[in-house]
Amino acid sequence: GSCQGNSVERKIYIPLNKTAPCVRLLNATHQIGCQSSISGDTGVIHVVEKEEDLNWVLADGPHPPYMILLDGNLFNRRVMLQLKGTSRVSGLAVAIAKPNPPQGFSPGLKCPNDGFGVYSKDYGPQFAHCNKTVWNPVGSGLSYEDFDFPIFLLEDANETQVIKQCYQDHNVPRDGSGPEYPLCAMQLFSHMHAVTSTVTCMRRSSLQSTFSINPEVVCDPLLDYNVWSTLQPINSSGKVDPEKEVIIVATRIDSHSFFWNIAPGAESAVSSFVTHLAAAEALHKVSDVHSLQRNIMFTFFQGETFDYIGSSRMVYDMEKDKFPLRLDNIHSFVELNQVALRNDSILWMHTDPVSRMNESVDMQVRNLLDILSRSSMGANVTLREVEHSQPLPPSSFQRFLRARHIPGVVLTDHETAFQNRYYQSMYDTPENIRMQYPEGLSPEETLEYVTDTAKSLAEVATVVARALYRLAGGANNTSAIQADPKTVSRMLYGFLIKMNNSWFQSIIKPDIKGILGDVPQHYVAVSSPVNTTYLVQYVLANLTGTVVNLTKEECLNPEKTPSSEKEMYEYAWVQGSLDPNSTSRVPYCVRSTVHLSKALSPAFELRQWGSTEYSTWTESRWKEIRARIFLVASKELEIITLVVGIAILIFSLLATYFINAKADVLFSIPRDPGAVAY
């Protein structure tokens, strides 16, 4: 059998494998998040299920520092700031609240991306810093605090139960006095390499890269790729004709929460980009799209949660002539923001009151709103305009407005404050957008099951697709333009419940099938492209591209095929679905207009790490992240064990010395008595 050399460690420690840490992020001026000391932080476990339990940790308990197992309902700003102000706490493990906290929970800011949108002291100062409308009133700003102890999320209820059982067996106070040793303790490792700010950590990394053969990089910029495609193909390496007008449709595809890579983003991101993808599919099915006078560009921005990384980069590239489109080509802008939680099926149309003071912009915006309203006739969606004096909600459109007065509209399910009470939190899950499946369905049946949420988002996609067709100059009847609820259902299942499903498997390239994890997360991260980007790219190609009759060789090297128009199209050799009669797949070649463009903040391109114009978010590097529990003996017993150990060591050294000194006496060879000496 195989030899297990760490059996002693396995007898002492119980590792916690299903956890998510809070890590350190940095911007131009601050560091936020959490970290442990370099050797990990240890403390005696105390379970806190109601606020009174905190007294034991903060004052009464005789065995500080404590590791708190905190009930998810108590994970709020008030409790966290109490814990932050004491040395009696060495770390925190948070159990997920089930059901979701009814009062709402958002660790994001009340005014998301404040200072990086369009409103400032020079542009609509009365709207700057959410003076007019607080968009996320539930926001506690907890994600933007800096904690000097580790905080982990316990994702597995069974592991939470193991910790509670260990606490019950060893740590529960008896009759008001402290429990007896041994006590149940926890150790959390999450030491972060970067400190202070992006300016400091990027400077250190830069110096290391310059002077060291093995540079020790301490932080990395948040970066990824934007996904974009056009209704009519354009030369992606050239420039669009200055006369050609393009309508941009946009959504964000990333989200965030307090914990690293826990970003379900059901309402804050997925609902809108799924609706966007469904509208793109509906438009591509229309027969006369290639003769429309205006082109339509479908754009999916990455990193928007962190001060508009993706959109600010695209605007920068357009201004610097590094993108096929220029800002002058943009005819109008339609953005889908949070759209799943509509009241009475009302969709709100937000516009920018400042740019509308210009008469020609106002006229174009009115036309845009009029077309949208008319497109909702006969659909189960009511479009309403918000009051004229209200600013735009946090949106990618704001970055385009910073560069140019573009007529545009942002569609949301909220008139003023967000409907989403779990914005940027681990609770922004399928349940938050009321996705429900009947009991007992197999994964394949669940994938195909059309939920009410899917039907409602398909209605929004239908309205958007019809309006875009009209905006682009389409003259035919739009009643045939219809988004498919079945496609929306599959996308919601894939992006919110299980990425590793038969549909996603069939539409991606064989060499990236490893990205299909189980539970989808939509955090932008530092290694790119992330799963979400790849999947949005391939779903968009699948819904809007065409299957072409090329061999694998021709598909992978389209420049060798004369009729491929390589500048106009992208080609992908995808896995295809499983052959019903065997275990092999039937791959094929997809031709589409789907492209990726960099979503790295211009601040890093320009090496302006202290920029106030562009996002400067970086993520610290770390060596290891792990958590474990074990039994700890009393200090007295540890000291006695140490003293006895030292005494035994000294005794053995002395014994060795004396034995060595008298070795000739102790180990001399006795003489043979029969031998006679002369």
Can you give the CATH number for the domain in which 149 is found?
3.50.30
- Tens digit of each residue's pLDDT (9 = 90 or more) over 265-274: 999 999 999 9
Residue where the block lists tokens 């809070």: 22
Q: Tell me how far apart the alpha carbons of residues 411 and 393 are, in angstroms, rounded to a whole number.
A: 10
Mean pLDDT of the region 524-530 = 85
- The edge-to-edge listing of strands for the beta sheet with 618-620 is 146-147, 31-34, 25-26, 618-620, 219-221
**Predicted local distance difference test score (pLDDT) of residue 6:** 63
**Cα-based distances in Å from 217 to 203, 206, 502, 608, 615:** 10, 8, 39, 18, 20
Phi, psi values for residue 312, rounded to 5°: -65, -35
- Tens digit of each residue's pLDDT (9 = 90 or more) over 493-506: 999 999 999 999 99
Q: Tell me how far apart the alpha carbons of residues 552 and 575 are, in angstroms, rounded to a whole number.
A: 11
Q: Which residue has the higher pLDDT, 53 or 662?
A: 53
pLDDT at 11 over 90: no
Angle at 525 between CA 227 and CA 493, to 5 degrees: 60
Name the packing angle between helices 359-375 and 452-471 (round to 10°): 130
DSSP states of 500-550: SSHHHHHHS-GGGGGG--SS------SSSS-HHHHHHHHHHHHHH-EEE--
Report residue 51's pLDDT band, with 50, 70 and 90 as the boundaries: very high
* 172 and 251 inside one domain: no
- Tens digit of each residue's pLDDT (9 = 90 or more) over 339-391: 999 998 999 999 999 999 999 999 999 999 999 999 998 889 999 999 989 99
**Predicted local distance difference test score (pLDDT) of residue 566:** 84
The two three-digit tokens of residue 437, written as one number: 């499946």
- Tally of structural domains, the chain: 2
| Percent of the chain at pLDDT exceeding 70 | 98
**Predicted local distance difference test score (pLDDT) of residue 4:** 53
- Tens digit of each residue's pLDDT (9 = 90 or more) over 180-231: 889 999 999 999 999 999 999 999 999 888 888 888 899 999 999 999 999 9
| Percent of the chain at pLDDT exceeding 90 | 81
Residue at 426: amino acid letter: M
Check if the beta carbon of residue 477 is closer than 8 Å to that of residue 457.
no
464 C-beta neighbours (distance < 10 Å), count: 29
**What is the pTM (predicted TM-score) of this model?**
0.92
DSSP states of 408-428: EEEEES-SSS-S-TTTTSTT-
In a domain, 13, yes or no: yes
Check if the beta carbon of residue 145 is closer than 8 Å to that of residue 112.
no
Q: Tell me how far apart the alpha carbons of residues 603 and 198 are, in angstroms, rounded to a whole number.
A: 11
Pairing mode of beta strands 588-592, 570-574: antiparallel
* 229 and 187 inside one domain: no
* 266 and 413 inside one domain: yes
In a domain, 573, yes or no: no
Mean pLDDT of the region 165-172 = 94
In a domain, 487, yes or no: yes
* 45 and 118 inside one domain: yes
Least confidently predicted of 370-384, 556-570, 595-609: 556-570
Mark 441-457 as b/e (b = at least 16 C-beta within 10 Å): eeeeebbebbbebbebb
* 95 and 230 inside one domain: no
Least confidently predicted of 472-476, 661-665, 672-676: 672-676
Q: Tell me how far apart the alpha carbons of residues 290 and 283 are, in angstroms, rounded to a whole number.
A: 11
**Predicted local distance difference test score (pLDDT) of residue 289:** 87
Can you give the CATH number for the domain in which 484 is found?
3.40.630
Residues 6 or more apart whose CB falls under 8 angstroms from that of 405 comprise 355, 358, 361
In a domain, 560, yes or no: no
Q: Where does residue 175 fall: left (phi above 0), alpha (psi -120 to 50 degrees), or beta otherwise?
A: left
In a domain, 528, yes or no: yes
* 182 and 104 inside one domain: yes
In a domain, 605, yes or no: no
> CA neighbours within 13 Å on the CB side: how many for 573?
13
Report residue 670's pLDDT band, with 50, 70 and 90 as the boundaries: low
User: Three-state DSSP class for 308?
Assistant: coil
Mean pLDDT of the region 100-127 = 95
* 187 and 235 inside one domain: no
Report residue 7's pLDDT band, with 50, 70 and 90 as the boundaries: confident
pLDDT at 1 over 80: no
* 276 and 391 inside one domain: yes
Q: Tell me how far apart the alpha carbons of residues 621 and 231 are, in angstroms, rounded to a whole number.
A: 41
Phi, psi values for residue 659, rounded to 5°: -65, -40
Check if the beta carbon of residue 281 is closer than 8 Å to that of residue 274.
no
* 380 and 248 inside one domain: yes
**Predicted local distance difference test score (pLDDT) of residue 210:** 82
Mean pLDDT of the region 3-12 = 72
Where does 35-173 show beta strands of DSSP type E? Answer: 41-48, 66-70, 89-95, 146-147, 151-154
* 432 and 338 inside one domain: yes
Q: Tell me how far apart the alpha carbons of residues 633 and 642 are, in angstroms, rounded to a whole number.
A: 12
Mean pLDDT of the region 311-334 = 96
DSSP states of 24-73: -EE-SS-EEEE---TT-EEEEEEEESSGGGHHIIIII-SS-SEEEEE-GG
**How far from the centroid of its chain's Cα atoms is residue 217's Cα?**
22
Mean pLDDT of the region 392-399 = 97
Check if the beta carbon of residue 629 is closer than 8 Å to that of residue 184.
yes
Q: What residues make up the domain containing 261?
A: 223-545+593-600
- What integer best gives the mean pLDDT of the chain? 93
* 11 and 148 inside one domain: yes
In a domain, 569, yes or no: no
* 365 and 514 inside one domain: yes
Q: Which residue has the higher pLDDT, 209 or 329?
A: 329
Report residue 3's pLDDT band, with 50, 70 and 90 as the boundaries: low
In a domain, 646, yes or no: no
Bridge partner residues of 571 (DSSP): 591
Report residue 676's pLDDT band, with 50, 70 and 90 as the boundaries: low
Residues 6 or more apart whose CB falls under 8 angstroms from that of 545 comprise 572, 590, 591, 592, 593, 594
Residue at 416: amino acid letter: T
Check if the beta carbon of residue 90 is closer than 8 Å to that of residue 149.
yes
